Each structure stands twice: as C-alpha cells, then as structure tokens.
C-alpha cells in the first residue's frame, strides 16, 4: 500500500502533539521500512541469533515511542533515530552473549571499505559500537554519519537531510569515518 508523501512527517507531528491515535497509524506506515532495516541488520548477525527481524523492530519501536521527547523533525530523522534504537538493541544482545560466552574478552575486527563486518558478528558489532563511541568523542558528526549510513541504510541525500548538511559533506565525512574506523578496528588496542 502506497502512502501519501509527507504522511510520516504529519503523523510524527500529531504524535508529538499528544495524538495517541497517531501512534498505531505511524507503526502501520513505517513498518515496511523498519522491517527492511531490521532484515539488513539481521543479515549481518550470526545465523543462530535468537532475535528475529520482527522482534528487533518491536523492541526498537517500543524504545522510540517511550522516549519522553519525541522531537522527530521528519521521516528521515525518524528513520535515523530508529536505526540508533535497532543498533542499541543488537549491541545489548551482543554484549550479553559475549559476556556469557567469552567473559567479555575483546576481539580484533577487520572492517573493509564497505564496512562489511566479518568474523563473529556479535563480537564485531560490539567492537564496532565501541569504536563508534570513540569516534563520537573525536567527531560526533562522523559517528552519526556511520550510524545513519551503515546501520540505518540511509543514502547520502537522506543522511544529509537528517544532519542538515550537504550531500557532498556526507560523502567526504563518510570516507573519513570509514578510514578512521578501519584503523581502529584493524589495529589491536593497546592497554
């Protein structure tokens, strides 16, 4: 079913203004895109992962709706925040699994130019999340671009819209962020 352009933005505004009916309508409208994002996330996970794409959507959506401040500006911004929520859910699962199976030991991770994660996805996801946290301390916009592009699946134009910068800036920063992350994940961290 095709939805009118701007419907997500209108529903976000209604939700922000306290319209409780907008919440269920929003889920109906955004669900196909959230499902696409969740499937992409789950493809990177280990085959025996206990979380399915549908459960990932629901956990992330509950987190989104429970946020006290729902200041989503538009459709792209909402999907960017949804990508963050999905990332948090998966990282929490990965950390729990790693702590139980490996005693919290860090693993070396290899990250290629396309930021495709290889090896043990749970450990890789935790390592990438930790690297992104370090990158955010260095440059928050670079970290946010990785989150939106890699985790959220947004293209350059959508990422630029969410961040309020040009597509050219996103393209340049995307290259810088990938290089920085590659260096962080390829080199074992010194204690």
Q: Residues 124-142: pLDDT tens digits? A: 777 888 888 888 898 989 9
The parent domain of residue 93 ranges over: 7-186
> Would you state the pLDDT for residue 1?
56
- pLDDT(106) > 50: no
Spatial CB neighbours of 107, under 8 Å, sequence gap ≥ 6? 119, 120, 123, 124, 127
> What's the mean pLDDT in 145-150?
84
> What's the mean pLDDT in 149-175?
87
> Would you state the pLDDT for residue 163?
86
Asked if the structure places residue 76 within a domain, the reply is: yes
pTM: 0.62
What's the first-to-final CA gap in the chain, in angstroms? 54
> What's the mean pLDDT in 28-56?
83
Asked if the structure places residue 47 within a domain, the reply is: yes
Rg of the chain over Cα atoms, rounded to whole angstroms, equals 17
The DSSP letter of residue 5 is T
What pLDDT band is residue 107 in, cutting at 50, 70 and 90?
Answer: very low
Q: Where does residue 78 fall: left (phi above 0), alpha (psi -120 to 50 degrees), or beta otherwise?
A: alpha
> What's the mean pLDDT in 59-78?
80
Number of domains in the chain: 1
Asked if the structure places residue 40 within a domain, the reply is: yes
Asked if the structure places residue 73 within a domain, the reply is: yes
Asked if the structure places residue 141 within a domain, the reply is: yes
Beta carbons within 10 angstroms of residue 110's beta carbon? 12
Asked if the structure places residue 81 within a domain, the reply is: yes
> Would you state the pLDDT for residue 105?
47
> Would you state the pLDDT for residue 171?
93
Q: What is the mean pLDDT of the chain?
A: 78
pLDDT above 70 covers a percentage of the chain that reads: 81
What pLDDT band is residue 114 in, cutting at 50, 70 and 90?
Answer: very low
Asked if the structure places residue 111 within a domain, the reply is: yes
Strand partners, 111: 117
Asked if the structure places residue 2 within a domain, the reply is: no
> What's the mean pLDDT in 23-38?
87
């Amino acid at each position: 079913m095709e939805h009118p352009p701007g419907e997500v933005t209108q529903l976000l505004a209604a939700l922000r203004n306290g319209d409780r009916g907008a919440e269920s309508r929003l889920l109906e409208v955004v669900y196909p895109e959230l499902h696409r994002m969740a499937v992409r996330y789950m493809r990177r996970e280990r085959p025996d992962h206990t979380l399915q794409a549908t459960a990932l959507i629901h956990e992330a959506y509950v987190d989104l709706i429970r946020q006290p401040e729902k200041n989503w500006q538009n459709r792209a911004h909402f999907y960017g925040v949804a990508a963050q929520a999905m990332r948090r859910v998966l990282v929490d699962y990965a950390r729990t699994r790693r702590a139980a199976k490996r005693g919290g030991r860090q693993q070396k991770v290899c990250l290629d130019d396309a930021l495709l994660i290889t090896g043990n996805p749970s450990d890789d996801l935790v390592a990438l999340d930790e690297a992104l946290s370090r990158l955010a301390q260095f440059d928050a916009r670079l970290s946010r671009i990785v989150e939106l592009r890699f985790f959220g699946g947004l293209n350059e134009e959508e990422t630029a819209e969410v961040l309020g910068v040009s597509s050219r800036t996103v393209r340049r920063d995307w290259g810088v962020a990938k290089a920085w992350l590659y260096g962080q994940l390829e080199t074992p961290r010194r204690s």
